């Protein structure tokens, strides 16, 4: 055995060395965020940094200019770190950080620089197909036509239309994988005719062109501002747009997160009021318990964007049916309006829509919208599934609200959107506050009379819905009216939700909660047909 | 993480239902327990399949290199020690099929020259490995280097040869439970991988044959690819 080992020892070493060499370059390419302590000797010239529109936005919204986040990263710091690193990838003034790669010795030197506050390994490249929205392309059929009308009607969008609220004066930055053919697509000709596409940039390819690759952005833009046969597919047909390509299709690479952050700073510079992002990052880079708005740099940047007065809207993610399950970054950031998806046929969370809460307990998703929508594809129109499309539908709604209430700041609009949800003040971790409603946000919705009441017996807490909401049946027992959804949750004494669900109220029977399942101090909260009430358990069963 | 129960009852069944239908039910407490199981969690187990070629450097003319192959199916257990290190074991069932070259010196297993000669070994194999990951990542396997040592226990060995007869007829002779191969062996093992896919190399530490009957040693190196199913 020994002689055999000696005879082939060199062969084994050769194979091993080859494998090691194959691995080492990957190790050497590990990228690091280098965060700095301060921004000394930096100067901010607002009129130089911002585009005229960006400057105007800051002034109009009474936002400070030249604060810590606006100041650039100290040039001296960049130079010193750059000199010690192998490669320089990105720089963020919001995070006061740069992204570099360096060997361990150099990294040690960088860490010992007096102005470096911390170094974090970035998350690595993973060659994998990402979870994608399902794309179902159909010819325009009756159902598509119904969906086209329903997707805005579900938000009572016609109320905005009647008041000529179409997002005019609002600038929306859309971050996506590209906007293939959007420049020649009939759905967007009204935007190009009036010069509504104010700027474009491909942060992956470092190029202003965004129309030659990636279909997803074309579909997302359709749900924001596209039109089909003069019928709007989104509510923001009068808004202005900044289109940024920050994502590659089919693979997840670290650079996408830097691109998103760079695009957010670019959007701020160009005066974006709203960022609509149907992108998200999950298990390739993070754990579920890191979805707390602090672990992911992109989530921290999203919160900084919100601090710059931008309303950041992000898709919850399409992860509910896989092992990840929960929301994705940056939807975990507390200042990001996270949008889940519902099935337009049932008004219940669609099976793939990521659920909350965030890892720190923050309510997510904040609101929901249709997870199946009619929209534009690069060469046609059709329906598409995904929280990606619920997001621009909501962003269009938000643009109209901001147009209606220009004096409000971004977080006031954020809370107005939440409180306009069709379930508000009820919420749960599948539906948030529900689908935003135009009449509620504009103050037209009246008080809803009670639609049910509670009855407590020895064995049950019963929820009895009013007779007029019991579906009618014909002589054969066939339903004549559609049953309504009753949403319930059981809230513990400490305020945390223990259980929640949706019941289809289809027969003239109460909904029973077993007393034995309800502890003292717990509260049963029920929402049914616009009315929310609760019952607190005051004694042990 | 959040496994929720979603029950959708067909509308047609509603007419006969005697209770309200719950179409969504989520038990938050039981659904938010942090998992200990996953690609980059404390424990992970998955099945895999490997394909490889037996070879050596420089090439040994006694074996038909591209046709001397390796196939295995097995399971891998991974125990996470830290973000950068993990360890574990593999268990697999494998087949090594070594095809003898036609122009070799004809001494094994006899002096007859055949048009095709193959040695097949079936074995149960187990290995212990240390895994080094190269970077921070989420709940994914990521890029890694495995260093391991393993052993195999032969469960069967066949020798077979073929000779052309008249026309297209082929004569096949198979000798089962061929006794000339070593019943157990051990090897060193290394692999580099990214998520489900790995390039692997194995170096056999003992001779393939009990008695080579004058034939040079079989190739000690196996290089191959492996797919993890998860």
Burial label, A75 (beta-carbon count in 10 A; 0-12, 13-18, 19+): exposed
pLDDT of residue A349: 96
Let me know if A375 is exposed, middle or buried by CB neighbors in 10 A (0-12, 13-18, 19+): buried
Strand pairing category for A311-315 and A336-342? parallel
How confident is the model at residue A4, as a pLDDT? 40
Q: Decide if A11 and B203 are in contact by the 8 Å CB cutoff.
A: yes
Contacts of B148 in chain A (CB under 8 A): none
Q: Which two tokens stand for residue A56?
A: 């105007």
Give A218 to chain B, closest Cα distance, Å.
Answer: 30
- Distance, in Å, from the CA atom of B153 to the CA atom of A470, rounded to the nearest integer, reads 70
- Residue A30, min C-alpha distance to chain B (Å): 7
What is the C-alpha separation between B80 and B43, in angstroms, rounded? Answer: 6
Give residue B19's pLDDT band: very low, low, confident or very high (50, 70, 90). Answer: low
Does ipTM exceed 0.90? Answer: no
Give the C-alpha separation, A438 to A166, whole Å: 12
Q: Are A398 and A160 in contact (CB under 8 A)?
A: no
Supply the pLDDT for residue B7: 40
Q: Which pLDDT score is estimated for A418?
A: 98
Looking at residue A129, what is its pLDDT?
37
Pick the closest to residue A401 from A385, A387, A386, A417 (CA basis): A417
CA of B34: which chain A residue's CA is closest?
A289
- Position B2 pLDDT exceeds 50: no
Chain A residue nearest residue B144, CA to CA: A23
Instruction: Dihedral sign for Cα B80, B81, B86, B87, please.
Output: negative
Q: Are strands B43-55 and B21-27 parallel, antiparallel or unpaired?
A: unpaired
At A126 the pLDDT is 41
pLDDT computed for residue A134 by the predictor:
54
Q: Are strands A380-385 and A372-377 parallel, antiparallel or unpaired?
A: antiparallel
CA atoms of B70 and A231, how far apart (whole Å)? 62
Q: Do A288 and B221 touch (CB under 8 A)?
A: no
How far apart (Å, rounded) are the C-alpha atoms in residues A333 and A261? Answer: 14
Mean pLDDT across chain B, nearest whole number?
Answer: 82
Beta strand extents in A457-522 (DSSP E only): 460-465, 484-491, 497-505, 511-514
Residue pairs spanning A and B at CB distance below 8 A: 174
For the beta carbon of residue B29, count every other beta carbon within 10 angstroms.
Answer: 12
Structure tokens at A192: 């190009």
CB pair distance less than 8 Å for B56 and A8: yes
**Nearest beta carbon to residue A30 from set B19, B38, B135:** B135
Outline where B15-118 has alpha helix (H): 28-31
A145: closest CA among A490, A492, A435, A381?
A381
Of the two residues B60 and A299, the one the predictor is more confident about is A299
Token pair of A531 as six digits: 């009315």
Quick check: A23 and B138 CB within 8 A? Answer: no
Confidence of residue B170 (pLDDT cuts 50, 70, 90): low
Q: Do A284 and B3 touch (CB under 8 A)?
A: no
Per-residue model confidence (pLDDT) at position B105: 63
Q: Which residue in B has a C-alpha nearest to residue A507's C-alpha?
A: B20
Question: Cα–Cα distance between A244 and A267 in angstroms, integer?
Answer: 9
3-state DSSP assignment of residue A284 = coil
Q: Is B82 on the interface with A (CB under 8 A)?
A: no
Decide if B136 and A123 are in contact by the 8 Å CB cutoff: yes
Helix (H) or strand (E) holding A454: strand A452-456
pLDDT reported for residue B107 = 63
Backbone angles phi, psi at A192, to 5 degrees: -70, -35
B 133-152 residues inside an 8 A Cβ radius of A: 134-140, 142-143, 145
Q: What is the pTM of this model?
A: 0.82
- Residue partners of A120: CB distance under 8 A and separation at least 6: A32, A33, A35, A297, B136
The pLDDT assigned to A508 comes to: 83
Could you say which residues from 199 to 218 on chain B have a Cβ atom under 8 Å away from some Cβ of chain A?
199, 201, 203, 205-207, 217
- Using the beta-carbon criterion (under 8 Å), do B192 and A497 form an inter-chain contact? no
Collect all residues of chain B within an 8 Å Cβ-Cβ radius of residue A324.
Answer: 1, 139
Q: According to the model, what pLDDT value does residue A421 have?
A: 97
Contact A396/A147 with Cβ under 8 angstroms? Answer: no
Helix boundaries (H) for A332-468: 387-404, 410-419, 438-441
Most B CBs within 10 A among A280, A506, A514, hence the mutation to make, goes to A506
Partner residue opposite A477 with nearest CB, options B8, B15, B195: B15
A410 to chain B, closest Cα gap in Å: 31
Q: Structure tokens of A281?
A: 């990052």
Q: Please give the backbone phi and psi of residue A391, each rounded to the nearest 5 degrees, phi first.
A: -65, -55
- pLDDT tens, residue by residue, B37-54: 999 999 999 999 999 998
Q: Would you call B134 and A27 a contact, using CB atoms and an 8 Å cutoff? A: yes
Query: Nearest 5°: phi and psi at A35?
Result: -100, 140
Residue B20 has its nearest CB partner, among A282, A287, A505, at A505
What pLDDT, on a 0 to 100 scale, did the predictor assign at position B160?
84
Per-residue pLDDT tens listing for chain A (541 residues): 344 444 444 555 555 555 544 444 444 467 888 999 999 988 899 999 999 999 999 998 889 888 999 999 999 999 999 999 988 888 899 999 998 888 888 889 999 999 999 998 775 444 333 444 554 444 566 678 889 989 999 999 999 999 999 999 999 999 999 999 999 999 999 999 999 999 999 998 888 999 998 999 999 999 999 999 889 999 999 999 999 999 887 665 667 788 999 999 999 999 999 999 999 988 888 899 999 999 999 999 999 999 999 999 999 999 999 888 999 999 999 999 999 999 999 999 999 999 999 999 999 999 999 999 999 999 889 999 999 999 999 999 999 999 999 999 999 999 999 999 999 999 999 999 999 999 999 998 888 899 999 998 888 999 999 988 888 888 877 878 888 999 999 999 999 999 999 999 888 889 999 999 899 999 999 999 999 999 999 877 6
State residue A463's pLDDT score: 94
Contacts of B138 in chain A (CB under 8 A): 123, 282-287, 290
Choosing among A127, A251, A288, which should be mutated to test the B contact, i.e. which has the most B CBs within 10 A? A288
Q: Which residues of B touch A288 (CB under 8 A)?
A: 1, 34, 139
pLDDT in tens, B8-17: 433 333 333 3
pLDDT at A2: 40
Residue B174 has pLDDT above 80, yes or no: no
B73 vs A134, B76, B140, B162, CA distance in Å? 33, 10, 22, 28
Closest CA to A411 of A491, A337, A500: A337
Closest residue of chain A to B230, computed from CA coordinates = A323
Q: How far is CA B76 from CA A23, B33, B90, B149, in A?
A: 21, 25, 4, 14
CB contact under 8 A, B20 and A507: yes
| Confidence band of B109 (pLDDT split at 50, 70, 90) | low
Query: For position B137, what pLDDT does the model report?
Result: 85
Q: Given an 8 Å threshold on Cβ–Cβ distance, is A11 in contact with B11?
A: no
């Amino acid at each position: 055995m020994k002689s055999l080992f000696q005879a082939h020892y060199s062969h084994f070493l050769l194979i091993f060395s080859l494998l090691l060499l194959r691995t080492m370059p990957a190790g050497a390419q590990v990228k690091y965020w280098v965060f700095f302590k301060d921004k000394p000797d930096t100067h901010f010239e607002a009129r130089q940094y911002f585009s005229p529109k960006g400057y105007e936005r800051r002034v109009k919204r009474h936002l400070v200019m030249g604060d810590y986040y606006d100041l650039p990263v100290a040039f001296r710091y960049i130079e010193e770190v750059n000199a010690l690193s192998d490669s320089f990838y990105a720089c963020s003034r919001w995070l006061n950080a740069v992204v570099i790669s360096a060997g361990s010795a150099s990294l040690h030197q960088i860490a010992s620089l007096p102005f470096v506050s911390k170094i974090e390994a970035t998350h690595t490249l993973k060659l994998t197909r990402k979870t994608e929205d399902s794309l179902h392309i159909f010819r325009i059929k009756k159902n598509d036509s119904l969906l086209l009308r329903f997707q805005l009607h579900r938000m009572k969008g016609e109320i905005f239309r009647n008041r000529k609220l179409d997002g005019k004066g609002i600038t929306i930055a859309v971050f996506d994988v590209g906007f293939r053919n959007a420049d020649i697509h009939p759905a967007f000709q009204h935007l190009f005719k009036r010069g509504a596409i104010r700027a474009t940039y491909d942060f992956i390819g470092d190029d202003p062109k965004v129309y030659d690759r990636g279909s997803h952005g074309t579909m997302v833009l359709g749900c924001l501002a596209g039109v089909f046969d003069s019928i709007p597919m989104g509510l923001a047909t009068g808004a202005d747009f900044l289109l940024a390509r920050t994502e590659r299709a089919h693979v997840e690479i670290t650079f996408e997160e830097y691109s998103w952050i760079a695009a957010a700073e670019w959007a701020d510079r160009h005066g974006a009021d709203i960022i609509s992002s149907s992108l998200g990052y999950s298990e390739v880079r993070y754990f579920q318990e890191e979805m707390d708005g602090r672990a992911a740099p992109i989530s921290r940047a999203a919160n900084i964007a919100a601090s710059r007065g931008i309303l950041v809207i992000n898709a919850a993610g399409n992860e509910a049916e896989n092992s990840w399950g929960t929301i994705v970054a940056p939807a975990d950031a507390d200042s990001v309006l996270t949008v889940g998806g519902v099935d337009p046929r049932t008004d219940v969370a669609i099976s793939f829509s990521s659920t909350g809460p965030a890892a720190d307990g923050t309510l997510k998703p904040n609101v929901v919208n249709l997870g199946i929508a009619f929209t534009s594809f690069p060469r046609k129109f059709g329906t598409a599934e995904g929280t990606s499309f619920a997001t621009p539908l909501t962003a269009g709604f938000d643009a109209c609200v901001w147009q209606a209430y220009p004096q409000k700041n971004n977080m006031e609009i954020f809370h107005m959107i939440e409180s306009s949800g069709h379930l508000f003040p009820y919420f749960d971790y599948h539906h948030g506050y529900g689908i935003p409603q135009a009449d509620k946000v504009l103050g037209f919705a009246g008080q809803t009379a009670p639609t049910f009441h509670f009855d407590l017996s020895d064995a049950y807490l019963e929820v009895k819905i009013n007779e007029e909401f019991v579906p009618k049946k014909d002589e054969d027992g066939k339903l004549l009216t559609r049953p309504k959804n009753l949403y319930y949750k059981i809230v513990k004494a400490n305020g945390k939700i223990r259980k929640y669900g949706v019941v289809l109220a289809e027969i003239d029977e109460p909904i029973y909660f077993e007393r034995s399942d309800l502890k003292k101090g717990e509260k049963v909260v029920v929402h049914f047909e616009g009315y929310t009430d609760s019952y607190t358990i005051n004694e042990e069963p | 993480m959040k496994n929720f129960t979603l029950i959708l009852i067909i509308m047609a069944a509603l007419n006969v239902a005697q209770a309200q239908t719950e179409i969504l039910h989520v038990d938050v407490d039981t659904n938010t327990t942090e998992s200990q199981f996953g690609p980059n969690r404390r424990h992970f187990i998955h099945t895999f399949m490997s394909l490889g070629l037996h070879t050596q450097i420089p090439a040994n003319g006694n074996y038909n290199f591209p046709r001397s192959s390796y196939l295995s199916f097995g399971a891998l257990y991974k125990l996470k020690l830290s973000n950068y290190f993990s360890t574990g074991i593999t268990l697999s069932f494998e087949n090594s099929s070594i095809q003898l070259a036609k122009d070799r010196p004809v001494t094994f297993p006899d002096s007859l020259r055949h048009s095709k000669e193959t040695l097949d070994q079936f074995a149960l194999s187990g290995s212990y490995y240390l895994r080094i990951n190269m970077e921070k990542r989420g709940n994914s396997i990521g890029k890694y280097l495995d260093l391991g040592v393993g052993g195999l226990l032969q469960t069967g060995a066949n020798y077979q040869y073929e000779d052309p007869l008249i026309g297209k007829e082929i004569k096949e002779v198979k000798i089962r439970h061929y006794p000339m191969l070593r019943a157990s062996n051990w090897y060193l093992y290394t692999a580099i991988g990214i998520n489900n896919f790995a390039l692997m190399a194995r170096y056999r530490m003992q001779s393939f044959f009990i008695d080579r009957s004058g034939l040079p040693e079989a190739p000690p190196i196996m290089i191959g690819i492996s797919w993890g199913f998860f």
